[in-house]
Amino acid sequence: MISKSKYPDIKIPQAGIYQYVTTRNEKFAAGLQDKLEFKRGDVLAIFSPNQVDYPIVLFGTIAAGGKVTTANPIYETTKLSYQLIDSGASILIVHPEVLEAAIEASIDAKIPASRVLLFGDNEIKGYKPYRSVLINDRDIEPIYYTPEEAKSTTAYLFYSSGTTGKPKDIEITHTNMVVRLAQVNSMECNLGPHSIIMAVLVATLQRLGIEYSSYDLNACTTAIIHSNFSVETICESIQTFKINRIYTTPPIILNLVNDPSAQQFDLSSVDKIICGGAPLSDQSERKFYNIFKIPISQGYGLTESGAITISPDTLKTTVPGSVGILIPNIKAKILSDDCHELGCNEPAELWIHGPNIMKSYLNNKVATDAAIDRDGFFNTGDIVYVDEQGNYFIVDRNKEMIQGLGFHVAPSELESILLTHAAVSDAAVVGYYSEKDATELPTAYVTIKNGYKQSRALAEEIQSFVDEKVLPYKRLRGGILFIDRIPKNASGKILRRLLKESLKNDMKK
């Protein structure tokens, strides 16, 4: 059964991303061309946390006909080097806070020091501020793209989070991004010049942040930008600037819930929080609302696709556990392991189709062909089901499902239960393959709250707490293991592959 959005399709703007967002002429683009001989199709990398000049570099590069790749500022040298080399970046704009890693990575990627430039106003170790080099006296007319060129020309090179393997380079075209912004425009009808928004995204403006910084320019909203996302900074900004819309990720929500100091600030100006990047448990969402009385809307999407669903909260309905309904221009099908299309309330793998789907994985035809079928449907790799009203529910990542006693066990279900135990502050469930039992055993890593001590008795108590609430094949037969911190990426996705590697050693102890 192929499902279609309940909303009518929106008209796809026939423009490049720069022309869709703004009509300004570009001095930065002229500087790229005149000073660094930057050509159409060249790649510029940005390695920085949130920074007020980020959009200048981002859109200036696009105006010059180039591509932008954004690197996570928490990357160490090896990961940054890989991205610079794989993307073919020839210029690197870097924040001073992460300059050391950038210097080493640029040497590995053979990017000359003269093409490594800094955010800010100060020269450091011979590396110059980008403004002193690239802000030109000459304006240029931004590169124009025909509709067909916009569909085929790559604007952004985003890298997957690598939670299940090596990061892949995702090619996002001009049309892909224009459609994503147009979809946001059609859904976020309450935002406009009166709105004050803040994207609290932990790492950088890449992916979701770029989409919303672009949206901010397009809708003429006011955006508050911070590189420091401490609880105090977030709350002070809300109180001072009367922010009314926040875009964030689950780790930030958990920090606000668990830090009592957040309740000392006036956050009443916020009318909604949009949370994405990773699932936020129902328990955490309810706890946040009980404390702050601010609704959280959860949506669902991927780097390869942008948003796919819109939260039911936006539709003024309440569907517990749902990430919402399909947004305009999206079609979806749910396929079983043997590729049969399933109906309502039957969980299986989600495939989606729409003009927001990526062009390809760069230089990786095998991965691209595996992800996109001959009809243009993209395999999300997520197990979902849809109810009769078109509300979608995420069960888990297909690659992360535990195969126990012939059944599929969703780690997220067990994690949600674990988080309701009084002693547990965070949890992650992975499968441990037991040679003796010839099956995977659901095993939980948990961090505990202050005031509790790690002990065998507490582990057994937590295990029994979960086992009493689930079917026999879902029980935590691998046991409970204590850990100081659950490894996650910047958006809050659990790095299960790291836990599985640790589990091999932990089970031998």
Instruction: Give residue-wise pLDDT tens across range 213-227.
Output: 565 555 567 888 887
Work out the mean pLDDT of the chain and round it to a whole number: 87
Domain containing 496 equals: 401-506
Within-domain flag for 187: yes
Domain count, the chain: 3
Within-domain flag for 421: yes
Distance of CA 146 to the CA centre of its chain: 30
pLDDT at 256 over 80: yes
At residue 204, the pLDDT reads 43
Instruction: Give residue-wise pLDDT tens across range 268-304.
Output: 999 989 887 777 777 888 899 999 999 988 888 888 9
pLDDT at 134 over 70: yes
Q: How far apart are CA 410 and CA 490, in angstroms?
A: 22
Q: Is 116 buried (19+), middle (13-18) or exposed (0-12) by CB count in 10 A?
A: buried
At residue 146, the pLDDT reads 95
Residues 111 and 201 in one domain: no
Which of these ranges, 40-49, 154-163, 184-193, 327-336, has the smallest mean pLDDT? 184-193
Instruction: Give residue-wise pLDDT tens across range 397-436.
Output: 777 888 776 677 889 889 989 999 999 999 999 998 887 7
CA 477-482-484 angle, 5° bins: 150
At residue 400, the pLDDT reads 81
pTM over 0.85: no
Confidence of residue 317 (pLDDT cuts 50, 70, 90): very low
Residues 136 and 179 in one domain: no
pLDDT at 80 over 90: yes
CATH assignment at residue 99: 3.40.50.980
Within-domain flag for 13: no
Residues 135 and 47 in one domain: yes
Within-domain flag for 153: no
Q: How far is CA 416 from CA 87, 349, 394, 410, 412, in A?
A: 38, 21, 13, 10, 6
Residues 246 and 121 in one domain: no
At residue 219, the pLDDT reads 59
Q: How far apart are CA 71 and CA 251, in angstroms?
A: 20
Q: How far apart are CA 463 and CA 418, in angstroms?
A: 9
At residue 312, the pLDDT reads 53
Residues 388 and 406 in one domain: no
Residues 340 and 442 in one domain: no
pLDDT at 310 over 60: yes
Residues 204 and 259 in one domain: yes
CATH assignment at residue 237: 3.40.50.12780
Q: Which residues pair with 349 in a beta bridge?
A: 335, 383
